Amino acid sequence: MDIRSLKHFHTIATCGQFTRAAIQLHISQPALSNTIKSLENELGCTLFERSTKSLKLTEPGEILYKHAGNVLESFDKIYKEMEDARNVGKGKINLGMIESYRYFISHMIGIFKSKNPAVSMKVRELGPNDIVKKLESFDIHLGITSIANDHNNFKYIPIFQENYVLLTPPEHRFKNLTSIEIIDLKNETFIHSLEGFKIRETFIKACEHVGFSPSVEFETESLETACSLVENGLGISVVPESFLALNPSKRRNEVFIKDFASKRTVYLVYQPERYLPPPIQDFIDITLQFSNEIIVRK
């Protein structure tokens, strides 16, 4: 049993058809059938129940399918790590980051490129959950996120911490106030992040603690979109202060919520067991150094 035959078996089981699998694998159907027959002879069991109507896995086939997925995923990670090793000093760093960090990233990349001119960077704006998935699949080397997940083997390094502020339209009833309390928001319409984002869950719990559930009319994973909706008078929103500091506008008001003490921590995250070439280690060092500068400025 080799990786090729395992991949062919897994593709057939996933597709549910020999014909569709052969097209996906770019081989002939007879060649694919021969591969499966050889695999069945080697293992001494039938892997598929074949009929004119459907193709189903046998019990041994189910067992092999479960393990095949893990083996193929591990093989893919090994290949990507070897690719990283081959490209030391001349490769590409793949970075996934939350949207609000885009206003810091250009300065960091500038410092990095001055030290590593031959290394290119691919930067993607992703949600916290997508950053975890991309790290697990080795599609990115590093992530910058606002959520630390205790249920994986990643290394999370705090970069900086910041407050949340309330964002309101320019003619809102809070326009002459610098601070309010959560209960004052009882009858407001909110623009919130999607479910799964920490700020949404934290803020809703804070509202429920004082006796009401906030009315959420708009949901978005983009801070820029949330700000635009607020500026057009469609609701209010709670956003991290760094985003506003770097995106000033006279079309909105910023109000401090006195009894909402929750802060957001931003983390650099990566897989410590993965091979990380020297340029990536260099970028990690630059990120940590720059985070200290952010804290000092704040």
Backbone angles phi, psi at 13, to 5 degrees: -65, -35
* CATH 3.40.630.30 for the 160-264 domain, yes or no: no
- Please report, as a single letter, which amino acid is at residue 208: E
**φ, ψ for residue 158, nearest 5 deg:** -60, 130
Rounded CA-CA distance 33/67 in Å is 21
pLDDT, residue 295, reads 45
Distances in Å between the Cα of 36 and the Cα atoms of 18, 46, 54, 123, 210 are 10, 9, 17, 41, 63
Q: Which CATH number fits domain 3-85: 3.30.450.20, 1.10.10.10, 3.40.50.1820, 3.60.15.10?
A: 1.10.10.10
Q: How many CB atoms lie within 10 A of CB 8?
A: 24
Contacts 24+ apart (CB under 8 A), 243-246: 243/100, 243/103, 244/165, 244/167, 246/103
8 A C-beta contact, residue 261 and residue 185: no
| Cβ proximity of 143 and 257 under 8 Å | no
pLDDT, position 105: 86
pLDDT of the chain, 298 residues: tens digit per residue: 788 888 999 998 888 888 888 888 888 888 888 988 998 899 898 998 876 567 888 898 899 998 888 888 888 877 776 776 665 555 788 999 988 787 788 888 899 989 888 888 899 998 888 999 999 888 899 999 988 887 678 999 998 888 888 999 988 999 888 899 999 999 899 998 766 577 788 888 889 999 999 888 888 878 888 889 999 989 999 888 877 766 777 888 899 998 887 788 889 999 888 877 788 888 999 988 877 665 434 4
Sign of CA dihedral 221, 226, 227, 232: positive
The reported pLDDT for the residue numbered 223 is 82
Nearest to 100 by CA among 234, 282, 216, 237: 237
Measured CA angle at 115 (ends 126, 146), to 5 deg:
25
Distance CA 186, CA 210 (A): 9
Residue 194 one-letter amino acid: L
Domain-wise residue ranges, the chain = 3-85, 87-150+271-297, 160-264
- HSE at residue 126, side-chain half, CA atoms within 13 A, is 22
Q: Which residues contact 129 (CB under 8 A, 6 or more apart)?
A: 196
Helix boundaries (H) for 183-262: 198-209, 223-231, 241-245
- Spatial contact of 162 and 263, defined as CB atoms under 8 Å apart: yes
CA distance 267 to 94: 16
Question: Rg (Cα) of the chain, in Å, rounded?
Answer: 25
Torsion of CA 134, 111, 83, 14, to 10 degrees: 10
How far apart are alpha carbons 86 and 91 in whole angstroms? 8
Q: For residue 268, what pLDDT is reported?
A: 93
Other CB atoms within 10 Å distance of the CB of residue 172: 19
Q: Can you point out the beta strands (E) in 110-262?
A: 120-125, 142-145, 155-168, 179-180, 189-192, 215-219, 237-240, 253-257
CA angle 116, 120, 124 (to 5 degrees): 125
Fold adopted by 87-150+271-297: D-Maltodextrin-Binding Protein; domain 2 (3.40.190)
Query: Are the folds of 3-85 and 160-264 the same?
Result: no
Q: What integer pLDDT is reported at residue 293 of this predicted model?
A: 62
The C-alpha angle with vertex 277 and arms to 76 and 122, in degrees rounded to 5, equals 70
